[in-house]
Structure 1
């Protein structure tokens, strides 16, 4: 049983000898879970991070937030998280630079249009104000678009983007304010399990006794799972974005715009430039995080028929990070089979930042034995076992 307390004393920076919950991974997911657990009154919450909080993919400058998905589970996670992002300045208390500029998906053929029409019906039923637009309406929202190259577009005005580093910092401050301990430079080296029960977490800064572990180590989650004898099918995949720097004239305020067929996307940055990106299908699995330029060629090729003015846009710099990919591109959330109290929230395949607030609540409830606000049974890692194949959620469109 996890002990609850009303303590809100500031946390120290030493690894305590024991904890009610040890969270492994200090990105936005781990920080959100730490905040929600500490806020709920869990007495001893410890978050450990191998580098420093937000040093991984959560350190990227801008992250999309949306509820436009094609299955109820991901729609629900996105919708509940959007509500939390809107109220983040009040709780936990930070400006995450939320811009509700909308998300605009460009649809080039009848098959894509049909898929998104069905998704819009499901989204509307759950409260997402998405709709299908004509090519001319899409161009009105985003003047960069050549309407001759698309059949339609899907749009929701409540989607947009925010600043992941500010979110991590806000969650960490909130967690510490409720008594959690957050430690950087703390590499997990082993997890002791005996009789199917977690006993301790061993780290480069010492050992900590605990009966509950939450793995949210992103691309490194597979290795953390193996330490406890848990299979988490997560692989790392490099993804890159580029910045134009300030443009003259300054870009108009546009939605987060994404071409479904090519995955080419672009949106405003926090100043007077644009951020551009593309999921390069040629990228192989691995932990490399160096920024390179070879992916810009397929980006420019994809931009020519969709947003011709961006085909030759200058690039002033860029950033590379790791997606934590699962076989079906859906997250892993739940408790391990065969190892009591080893929980996980990982494998978000590019959607971790936008879903972090809702997942923080869900993992808090799983830790406390409560029924989560959303049924995340389809996201159990057990779906990749022969017995659990029927649990699999629909693979979302994008």
Structure 2
């Protein structure tokens, strides 16, 4: 049966992934009244399929790196401030980027130099010391760089924990409810959203719909060029703790992440988790919203790892 919120709120957040959950958490902490609306469950989109990387190592100097450095600080604060039952598996594991040859190592040196100037900590690791950091590494690598600021969270847990904290401060979370319209006044000012259950009034709407952000923007008459990019991660059975000590990845991962190519790309990324499974990534390709399993992508991941 259609329903309406009884009184206007301060903000409606569209999306219950980690970005929407974080927006709700900080908005309620600032004293705002909030509703979070998602057509699916908590972390039902990209958040639930992600690795939870909190990386500075793969970003060149500029606005994105500045945001990443801020993000790593905020996650440390969140991990320390959330109650034990809301643990987000925050790990300050650090990243280890490895180079297969001197050409790749030279490129990594130049990349790291620019990052250091922006506040990133990066230590060059000679080839003879790599095995001490990661005993499972293949032999013959030219060297690498250690980034101690790299970290990881369990993304679905993180989104759920942030939403619970927001709920404790009064946020309303409405799942399984799709936003079908952005409400505006005659003058064009935002005044809320419409869903199949009714209208939710607020003078601000946050688009945190992730991959579907472009479609939500269209409801407001805006063009937002957000496009989906499919990726796969292999997940092993639980393995002995400490088998993989850092987030370990090949130098070509940096270029692949920044690339706008539509074709299938894969670059080796291997990391452990507190629960035991090892995550092996990562691929990326532009195939729209097609979530069909690609055996070719998985084959590449296994071989590169």
Cα deviation digits, residues 255-284 of structure 1 (max 9, x gap): 11111325211111323331111214xx33
Does the 8 Å contact 2:79/2:90 carry over to 1? Answer: no
Does the 8 Å contact 1:219/1:234 carry over to 2? Answer: yes
Query: Which among 173, 179, 183 is matched to residue 192 of structure 1?
Result: 183
Q: 1:56 corresponds to which residue?
A: 45
What number of residue pairs does the alignment pair up?
A: 286
**Structure 1: runs of 5+ lacking an equivalent:** 1-12, 304-398
- In structure 1, C-alpha distance between the alignment counterparts of 2:270 and 2:300, rounded to whole Å: 14
- In structure 2, C-alpha distance between the alignment counterparts of 1:264 and 1:14, rounded to whole Å: 49
- In structure 2, C-alpha distance between the alignment counterparts of 1:51 and 1:17, rounded to whole Å: 24
Pairwise CA distance, 1:290: 4.5
- In structure 2, C-alpha distance between the alignment counterparts of 1:196 and 1:153, rounded to whole Å: 53
- In structure 2, C-alpha distance between the alignment counterparts of 1:250 and 1:270, rounded to whole Å: 7
Matches within 5 A, 1:174-189: 174-189=165-180
Does the 8 Å contact 1:236/1:287 carry over to 2? Answer: yes
Matches within 5 A, 1:1-398: 15-16=5-6, 18-42=8-32, 44-60=33-49, 62-68=51-57, 69-93=59-83, 94-110=86-102, 112-148=104-140, 150-193=141-184, 194-247=186-239, 252-261=243-252, 262-280=266-284, 283-303=285-305
Pairwise CA distance, 1:205: 1.7
- In structure 2, C-alpha distance between the alignment counterparts of 1:111 and 1:197, rounded to whole Å: 54
- In structure 2, C-alpha distance between the alignment counterparts of 1:273 and 1:201, rounded to whole Å: 41
Pairwise CA distance, 1:31: 0.5
Pairwise CA distance, 1:168: 0.8
Runs of 4+ in 1 over 4 A off after TM superposition: 13-17
Q: RMSD across aligned C-alpha pairs, in angstroms?
A: 2.4
- In structure 2, C-alpha distance between the alignment counterparts of 1:18 and 1:140, rounded to whole Å: 59
Pairwise CA distance, 1:111: 5.1
Cα deviation digits, residues 51-110 of structure 1 (max 9, x gap): 122122222474122222212322222222222222324434431112222111122355
User: TM-score, normalised on structure 2?
Assistant: 0.84
The structure-2 alpha-carbon separation of the partners of 1:90 and 1:143, relative to structure 1 and needing over 3 Å to count, comes to closer
- In structure 2, C-alpha distance between the alignment counterparts of 1:228 and 1:19, rounded to whole Å: 19
- In structure 1, C-alpha distance between the alignment counterparts of 2:275 and 2:91, rounded to whole Å: 12
Secondary structure in structure 2 of the residue aligned to 1:237: coil
- In structure 2, C-alpha distance between the alignment counterparts of 1:143 and 1:137, rounded to whole Å: 10
**Structure 2: runs of 5+ lacking an equivalent:** 253-265
Does the 8 Å contact 2:12/2:192 carry over to 1? Answer: no
Secondary structure in structure 2 of the residue aligned to 1:173: helix
Does the 8 Å contact 2:241/2:274 carry over to 1? Answer: no
- In structure 1, C-alpha distance between the alignment counterparts of 2:81 and 2:196, rounded to whole Å: 33
